[in-house]
């Protein structure tokens, strides 16, 4: 039974970690886009 | 998202409580429902990589490169899942974690091929060159995926023979087939959801590059 547990756990953990990595990358990029947009706006003024 | 969550609960219920215990292997066979679902996503994901590669080479639209990258990454995620669940099933069933039979070896080669695809992409700075390289790589890598899929049909392997589309003498108990269908559909829906999120991420990355260029030109 422990093999079944580890098999299912491994797949769920992999997926959760991947989802978390997408979320963190997206948050970082969103922040960078906001910063860059404000810098572009400042330059244009 | 809600559909995937419901599907995951149904998969767990089906795999652990609904599906009958397999006569020869016993409870460990229940790994099958997640192992097979992983490969049922990984293989089509890699096919999408090759199709998007062809589409990019035809019309040069970067959206194909973004989709190809998303599918290669998620395909590798599920390929990793398949390569982890396989040995966890092999140990109690065969007595060994791994054996160098044709199916297992080809699966490892496929995983390494697409891991290399993801790593090598990052070495190319220029977006058009990177997209061209990825497109050509994705097209040339697909025969390995086809051979991997066909391995248990072409050669005698320690890996079990196909139970779906395996020809005469193959097949599954109807309840087992239904649980497998539920887990596969759930994983496919999850794959589509992840791919959409991953493509959006790549679009944002392009937006960052565009804004940086605007800043550079302005300075």
Residue B116, pLDDT > 80, answer: yes
- Tell me, what's the ipTM? 0.89
Chain centroid to CA B83:
11
Per the CB < 8 A criterion, the answer to whether B189 and B3 are in contact is yes
Q: Inform me whether the C-beta atom of residue A13 falls under 8 Å from chain B C-beta atoms.
A: no
Task: Please give the pLDDT value at position B219.
Answer: 60
Measure the CA angle with vertex B34, ends B53 and B29; round to 5°.
135
Residue B18, pLDDT > 80, answer: yes
pLDDT digit string, tens, across residues B72-89? 999 999 999 999 999 999
Q: Which pair of tokens denotes residue B173?
A: 């108990």
Q: Which pair of tokens denotes residue B74?
A: 């998620």
Sign, CA dihedral B200-B202-B203-B208, equals positive
pTM metric for this prediction: 0.91
pLDDT digit string, tens, across residues A15-45? 999 999 999 999 999 999 999 999 888 887 7
Q: Do residue A19 and residue B194 have CB atoms under 8 angstroms apart?
A: yes
Give the A:B interface size as CB pairs under 8 Å.
Answer: 78
Tell me the nearest-neighbour CA distance from A32 into chain B, angstroms: 7
pLDDT digit string, tens, across residues B162-175? 776 666 666 778 88
- Can you tell me whether residue B26 is helix, strand or coil? strand
Per the CB < 8 A criterion, the answer to whether B2 and B10 are in contact is no
Mean pLDDT, rounded, of chain B:
90
**Interface mutation vs chain A, best among B88, B90, B184, B203, most A CBs within 10 Å:** B88
CA atoms within 13 A on the CB side of B89: 25
Task: Please give the pLDDT value at position B184.
Answer: 94
**Interface mutation vs chain B, best among A1, A7, A16, A35, most B CBs within 10 Å:** A7
* Helix ranges, chain B (H): 2-13, 32-59, 62-94, 102-121, 127-154, 174-218
Q: Do residue B35 and residue A43 have CB atoms under 8 angstroms apart?
A: no
Q: How much of chain B exceeds pLDDT 70, in percent? A: 96
Q: Which pair of tokens denotes residue B124?
A: 């190319």
Instruction: Kindly list the distances between the CA atom of residue B144 and the CA atoms of B76, B107, B133, B179, in Å, as whole numbers in the listed order.
Output: 14, 9, 18, 29
Angstrom distance (rounded) from CA B145 to CA B111? 9
Phi and psi torsions of B159, nearest 5°: -60, 140
Q: Which of B55, B53, B59, B57 is nearest to B117 (CA)?
A: B53
**Interface mutation vs chain B, best among A1, A2, A3, most B CBs within 10 Å:** A3
Q: Which of B31, B12, B25 is nearest to B89 (CA)?
A: B31
Q: Which pair of tokens denotes residue B180?
A: 């497998």
Task: Please give the pLDDT value at position B106.
Answer: 95
Residue A13, pLDDT > 90, answer: yes
| Residues on chain B touching A14 (C-beta within 8 angstroms) | 77, 80-81, 84
**Helix pair B174-218, B2-13: axis angle to 10 deg:** 150
Q: Which of B80, B109, B106 is nearest to B159 (CA)?
A: B106
Q: Do residue B28 and residue A3 have CB atoms under 8 angstroms apart?
A: yes
Task: Please give the pLDDT value at position B189.
Answer: 94
Task: Please give the pLDDT value at position B170.
Answer: 66
Phi and psi torsions of B23, nearest 5°: -65, -45
| Of the partner residues A14, A26, A44, the one whose CB lies closest to the CB of residue B204 | A26
């Amino acid at each position: 039974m422990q093999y079944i547990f580890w098999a299912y756990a491994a797949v769920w953990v992999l997926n959760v970690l991947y989802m978390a990595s997408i979320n963190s990358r997206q948050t970082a990029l969103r922040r960078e886009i906001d910063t860059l947009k404000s810098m572009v706006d400042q330059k244009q003024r | 998202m809600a559909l995937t969550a419901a599907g995951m609960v149904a998969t767990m219920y089906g795999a652990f409580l609904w599906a009958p215990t397999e006569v020869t292997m016993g409870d460990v066979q229940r790994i099958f429902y997640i192992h097979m679902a992983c490969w049922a996503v990984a293989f089509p994901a890699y096919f999408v990589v090759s199709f998007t590669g062809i589409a990019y080479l035809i019309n040069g639209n970067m959206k194909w490169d973004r989709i190809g990258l998303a599918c290669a990454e998620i395909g590798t995620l599920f390929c990793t899942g398949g390569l982890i669940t396989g040995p966890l099933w092999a140990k109690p069933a065969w007595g060994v974690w791994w054996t160098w039979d044709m199916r297992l070896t080809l699966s490892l080669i496929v995983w390494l091929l697409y891991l290399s695809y993801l790593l090598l992409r990052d070495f190319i700075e220029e977006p058009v060159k990177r997209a061209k390289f990825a497109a050509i790589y994705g097209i040339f890598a697909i025969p390995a995926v086809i051979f991997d899929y066909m391995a248990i049909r072409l050669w005698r392997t320690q890996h079990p023979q196909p139970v779906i589309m395996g020809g005469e003498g193959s097949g599954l108990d109807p309840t087992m087939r239904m649980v497998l269908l539920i887990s596969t559909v759930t994983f496919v829906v999850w794959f589509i959801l992840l791919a959409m999120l991953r493509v959006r991420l790549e679009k944002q990355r392009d937006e960052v590059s565009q804004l940086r260029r605007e800043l550079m030109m302005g300075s």
